[in-house]
Amino acid sequence: MKLRLFTTTTLILIGMMLKAQNPVLIPGTLSGTEFTLNLQNATFQFYEGINTTTMGANGSVLGPTLIMQKGDFVDITVNNDLADTTTIHWHGMHVSAENDGGPHTTIDPGGSWNPSFTVMDKAATYWYHPHLHQMTNKHVSLGIAGFIIVKDDEEALLDLPRTYGVDDFPLAIQTKDFDDQKQIVVPSNSDDVVMVNATIDPYLDLPAQIVRLRLLNGSSMRVFNIGLSDNRTFYMIASDGGLLSEALPLTRLQMGPGERAEILLDLGDMQGQTIKIMSYASEFQNGIYGATYPGMNQSMILDGYNPNPLNGNDYDIISLNVIAPTDNPVTSIPGSLVTITPWEESASNITRDLTFSPETMGLGQLNGNFLINNTSFDMDVINYSIPLNNIEIWSISNNSAIAHPFHIHDVQFYMLDRDGTPPLPLNKAERTTS
């Protein structure tokens, strides 16, 4: 693919649905221009009465939602009280390299990091997480992750739900693997436990009106195929890069790791009813992490991938109980949202070709490393030096047997075509898969 960018299972699934449900955890918030995050070791009870070793920011698991205003200069202090060196990356945000929190900007145990920057991003949902080379999966899987909500004047003019925890909710969807002692296994391809905001078998009470859900795929590898249990239409209003030009009606939304989307649900006629957000993984073609077979060739093996009741089957993510509306509800889906003017393809300065490939070909390739242009990541090598303000076309080819997410730190992009075909309305509307 080439992308150019500007029986037992049934019983297990039934058992999952019959478990007692838990109110979903809603992270607290920090707002203003000064933020402090304390990274800490902790324990958390994913299962009642059992302490699981975790990591968190300002708490036992996950972290507070940071609410920022476009144009503000923010000052952030990150204190590392872990036993590990780590970093914190502001995923999707437009910041300089020294403030980005990538693998090069490490925070030693007992140390602090103090990034500061002007918020240049449009209103959207971003997130933060550790990004240490070869340790990102461990630190995120053990619990360090949090939302960032950026607000701006354009978004403020729209009649949208925006009361946090009332009609506007952040939902981090993750899958994890637990051992017999209910400890998180990292790394693992046996991620058979679904959770939302660190809550297993979650439910959320929503008012009978228009509500806004800020979805994050916070999983290490799993792709979700988001839909509602009654297959009703929902409306996507924002991608990773900000608001769309108009609300996009959907019944399915595929989300790769790290991806965010804001959707609106019209629950005005559903008071007293319950619907579920599901992942319709049975609809995935092979070659996606979450399909029946992780590789395009069914003979390919990914260690620990099967048997797993989530792979190739539809499953619940969260139950939504519709309760009485609020006093001043939003009752209609807006038509137009914001004006988006993509760059002209003719304005590009250069086209770069990037090719994904497995380090080792063959049926076992999914268990190995992957390369870009036959090169693996090296902390001490700068592969490309790109002039500031360049407009570039990146042509990305995937020569491996499994689909890969892809994003670029700091910048947004527009999709031009996929395999030479103009993008579908969903992809055309998206400004980035950051």
pLDDT tens for 157-189 read 999 999 999 999 999 999 999 999 999 999 999
Confidence of residue 412 (pLDDT cuts 50, 70, 90): confident
pLDDT of residue 1: 52
301-323 pLDDT tens trace: 999 999 999 999 999 999 999 99
pTM, two decimals, is 0.93
Section 137-144 average pLDDT: 97
Which sign, positive or negative, has the C-alpha torsion 173, 177, 183, 188? Answer: negative
Cα(275)–Cα(315) distance, rounded to whole angstroms? Answer: 13
Does residue 391 register a pLDDT over 50? yes
Query: What share of the chain has pLDDT > 70, as a percent?
Result: 93
Section 228-239 average pLDDT: 97
Section 200-218 average pLDDT: 98
Quick one: how far is CA 165 from the chain centroid?
Answer: 19
Cα(418)–Cα(366) distance, rounded to whole angstroms? Answer: 23
Confidence of residue 15 (pLDDT cuts 50, 70, 90): very low
Confidence of residue 423 (pLDDT cuts 50, 70, 90): confident
> Among 159-168, 232-241, 403-412, 422-431, which stretch is predicted with the lowest mean pLDDT?
422-431
Does residue 428 register a pLDDT over 70? no
pLDDT of residue 108: 98
Does residue 119 register a pLDDT over 50? yes
Better-predicted residue by pLDDT, 3 or 406: 406
Section 187-206 average pLDDT: 97
Cα(198)–Cα(316) distance, rounded to whole angstroms? Answer: 15
Does residue 240 register a pLDDT over 50? yes
pLDDT of residue 434: 38
Q: Which of 402, 392, 280, 265 is nearest to 332 (CA)?
A: 265
Mean pLDDT (the chain) is: 93
CATH: 3.40.50.10860, 2.60.40.420, 3.40.50.300, 1.10.238.10. Which one for 32-154?
2.60.40.420
Does residue 100 register a pLDDT over 80? yes
pLDDT of residue 8: 41
Q: What is the CATH number of domain 168-323?
A: 2.60.40.420
Does residue 11 register a pLDDT over 70? no
pLDDT of residue 4: 56
Confidence of residue 20 (pLDDT cuts 50, 70, 90): low
Cα(230)–Cα(207) distance, rounded to whole angstroms? Answer: 18
29-86 pLDDT tens trace: 999 999 999 999 999 999 999 999 999 999 999 999 999 999 999 999 999 999 999 9
User: What are the start and end residues of each CATH 2.60.40.420 domain in the chain?
Assistant: 32-154, 168-323
The contacts found for 47-55 with CB under 8 angstroms, 24 or more apart, are 47/182, 47/200, 50/181, 50/182, 52/178, 52/182, 52/183, 52/184, 53/142, 53/183, 53/184, 54/142, 54/143, 54/184, 55/82, 55/139, 55/142, 55/143, 55/144
